[in-house]
Structure 1
Amino acid sequence: MTYDLLSDTDSAVIREFGILNTLVSPDDPEQAAGKSFYGVPFPGVYVTDEHGVVTEKFFHRHYGTRESAGAIRDSALGEILARHEAPAIELGTDQVQISAFLSDPSLRFETQSTVYVRFELEEGLHMYGRPLPDGYIASEASIPDTPGLRVGATRYPTTHTRAFPELGVTLNVYEGVVDVAIPITPNAELFGPSKSDQPETLVVPVSVLFQVCSETICYTPRTETLSLTLPVGPLLRPGAPRAR
């Protein structure tokens, strides 16, 4: 079997796209691999539509970090899918159903996945989102510092404004299905120096603060923690046989 191998002489295309990895220097004596890797791009992925127009991009500073397939899939589809093979946990009240699930079947070394926190509000109910005046509570989701994980900034969907004439205010609210995204990246601390040090799963605490309101009443604010158990994918180590 033969195939064509493309090359980018002098990183011309990389430079034209503006993605030359400037963190790698050929002249830095502290970077032993500098001469070998100088000219590589920042690791990233472009998502295009059927006309070749870029609709989304994912880039990272570290050459070893990548976006997960699940996160790219959700962006390409324009919707977040809770797939049956992805780890998930749920919490329910009379006003809202809350679930937390991973974008991928498992965690992979230096691959940025996304933990989605989904609020499914009953019809006629809403939650508040930032910014808000004093005295109102915005619903939030977060993951605290967890050994073995880098946790990125939480991404909230866009709110819409709603007038409350009785209160004399217009506030930012969420209604229906609300998906909050929290990027997480497993690092070397999780995998350890040898295969025997690597855990099979990692329990990630997901904290949620929420208050649900109707046209006439706001229910008591609640803070809950969902413990999401995530499988940890194997790390390919030097000398280890590759799966076929």
Structure 2
Amino acid sequence: MITPYEKQLTVLLCRSNAAKKMGPVEAFGLFQDIATEHSRFMNADYDSMMSCNAFWAITKTRIHFNREPEFFENITVKSWPNAPTSFTGNRNYIIIGEDGQPAVTAVAEWVLMDTTTRRLRRFNSTCYPLDAEHCPEKLFEAPYRRFQCEFGEDDFAYSHIIRASDTDIAGHTNNTVYCRLMLDAFPASFFRKNAIRDFEVRYAIESREGETLSIYRKTEGNIHYLAVKNSEGKVMVTALLETA
């Protein structure tokens, strides 16, 4: 059976933001790291998938904050995948705080892409361990919201050129970078003044080193809509941020 993977760590400088808390960007990075570690034990990591000409990609992620873990807080992070469908698989994440209570819960929808065609692969066409028993527990029964927002020039925040440090071993912009770019549309004071409750991201188009991306932001009350567009004006990534 693929059992939940668990790790203890302390929220240090690289896992905290200007508000001295673990925010969405830092949580995204932590979740990506623990998924990477767990997949190695599952024989489903990057190298294993590359042996069958496939690589992992994330299409959706949702994080819910009961509270944001504090700087120097000792936390426990756990993660496990549910059994995948033909083309998609959900992975669950939870951060337990020093008080023993869930501070953060999250879910991500993962897919397998063909390294040559960049098209979706069925899980059963790869070396993913489908025969292994998966943990059935789901942290969200209806994990992903439906949201849509149109962005005009009045919503433009800034532009960013993808550099080498923005890319990962798959040769494209890492999913955590998009989160950072979108949340950088807010000043540091925003995160000091507001408690984050939910952050959901949807990925549609990949980008590579040298591309210029445009970041957009629109606010309606405590709901903030965000988007990343490429130089052709195509929407690559969208997100919804909800504050308390």
Q: How high is the TM-score relative to the length of structure 1?
A: 0.28
Q: Which has the higher helix share?
A: 2
For the pair shown, the structure with the greater C-alpha radius of gyration is: 1
User: Which of structures 1 and 2 has the larger relative contact order (alpha carbons within 8 angstroms, sep 6+)?
Assistant: 2
